[in-house]
Amino acid sequence: TVLYILSLNFLSKNLSFKVLLFPDIYNRKIDLPGRSLGRRKMADISGTEDSFAHVLEDKVVKLANNIKSLQQIVKDAEQRARLSEKKVRDVLGNLDQAEREKNEAVMSLSSLRTKFELEKETFLGKIQTYVDQIEWVREDSKKSMETVMREHSSNIASMEVKIEGLKSELEISQKECAEAKVLLDTFKKKTDIVQEELEKESEARKNAEEVAASMISKLEDEMSRKLTELHLAKEKELRESEQSFKELENVYHDQSKTLMKKEDLIGKYEEERESLSKIAKLGLTVAGEQTKESVNKISERGRSLARRTASRGRSFVSRSRSRSVKKSKSKSKNRGREVEDEKPTVENNVIEIRTAIDKSPSAEMEELKAIEEDLKQIEAKESALMKYKKELAARLERRSEHVESESLAIPEASVE
């Protein structure tokens, strides 16, 4: 607007100066040969005035467009708070560009003013007669300029009001951006604190898991060690029982061999026809001693036998019973035959032998019953031992379950 006013003032001065120089030409009273030249100059001046006015109008239009763009940016600033700084920079750049254009216009006006002063000095030095006409034209141009200035001043005032409103809205948007930045900083601080707490909790959880894993491994090692010890102890007991069973088998074979030898001796004694009573007593005493020794050995060593020793003992008893019965029957038959063939002088000896033979199976049966009772006691002890083993295995399982539950409860407690 200032440039526009200065340009109009400059044009009014030029017009008044030329009217003063060539009053007759403007009033069409004198037809000079240089009138065409003056007309060309006036046309040039009017052309320059129009071009300058167009330039000023273009600049005003540009400023209006910039203001409209600023209004649009301010309207969109509420929705795009994060991009408000960039838009503010764009608006400031536009304002700087407008100020640059203004400065350029001022510079151009100053250059025009200097040119005008130079031309004025030259024309005043040459022509003094047309000054009054130029003054009249100047006054007329001043009036027209005042009217134009009044029209444009109202527009300029409204534009200034709009610019102030836009500036206030920009300040508000800048304040909102600053508040948003403060909120972002607070949120970042809170997120950092939460991340630190999460890292601490994760470290504590890892430590608890490591402690629980170490405890579980220790408990597993202890359980495996105890199980191996128990397994070794049971294997040792089984080996001892097998060894004792082998010893019993060896004893049984030895006793069977000795019995066979004794039977052979008895047969020899019978063949030699010695006194039958002595032979019977000798056989009974030998059998009783052997059975007593076997029972004592079985009672001493039968505590560490397993179930298979009981079954083998039963088979041994059944076999020995069948053998003893068979032998007693065969002996009784043979002796009966020998007694029938002998003379009546030895009838008393035969009666004694028969009584001994009749008594011997009952004594053997009693001894066998005693052996069976001992074996039953051994079986009862073995069954009690098996029950104890089962109870021990159940206790171990319960203890392992309890240890596992404790190992599972330890990390949960540590996490809590």
79 and 223, same domain (yes or no) = no
183 and 213, same domain (yes or no) = no
Question: Are 71 and 166 within 8 A, CB to CB?
Answer: yes
Among 239, 233, 246, residue whose Cα is nearest residue 388: 233
| 272/260: higher pLDDT | 260
112 and 214, same domain (yes or no) = no
Last residue of a domain, one of 180, 199, 218: 199
User: What pLDDT shows up at residue 409?
Assistant: 45
352 and 407, same domain (yes or no) = yes
Last residue of a domain, one of 175, 199, 223: 199
Label residue 17 by pLDDT band (50, 70, 90). very low
Answer yes or no: is pLDDT of 144 > 60.
yes
User: What pLDDT shows up at residue 176?
Assistant: 84
Sorted by sequence, the CB contacts under 8 Å of residue 398 that are 6+ apart come out as none
407 and 278, same domain (yes or no) = yes
78 and 214, same domain (yes or no) = no
Instruction: Please give the Cα distance from 386 to 306 (Å, whole number).
Output: 9
183 and 327, same domain (yes or no) = no
Last residue of a domain, one of 149, 170, 199: 199
For the chain, the average pLDDT equals 66
242 and 139, same domain (yes or no) = no
215 and 126, same domain (yes or no) = no
User: What pLDDT shows up at residue 104?
Assistant: 83
| Stated pTM of the model | 0.22
93 and 177, same domain (yes or no) = yes
Per-residue pLDDT tens for 396-413? 666 656 545 544 443 343
223 and 183, same domain (yes or no) = no
223 and 363, same domain (yes or no) = yes
Instruction: Please give the Cα distance from 232 to 236 (Å, whole number).
Output: 6
| 92/44: higher pLDDT | 92
Per-residue pLDDT tens for 185-216? 888 888 888 888 888 888 888 887 888 788 88
- CA angle 349/350/353 to nearest 5° reads 90
- How many structural domains is the chain composed of? 2
- Mean pLDDT, residues 351-355: 46
Instruction: Please give the Cα distance from 294 to 25 (Å, whole number).
Output: 173
Question: Are 67 and 163 within 8 A, CB to CB?
Answer: yes
Question: Are 109 and 9 within 8 A, CB to CB?
Answer: no
For residue 296, the enclosing domain spans 208-415
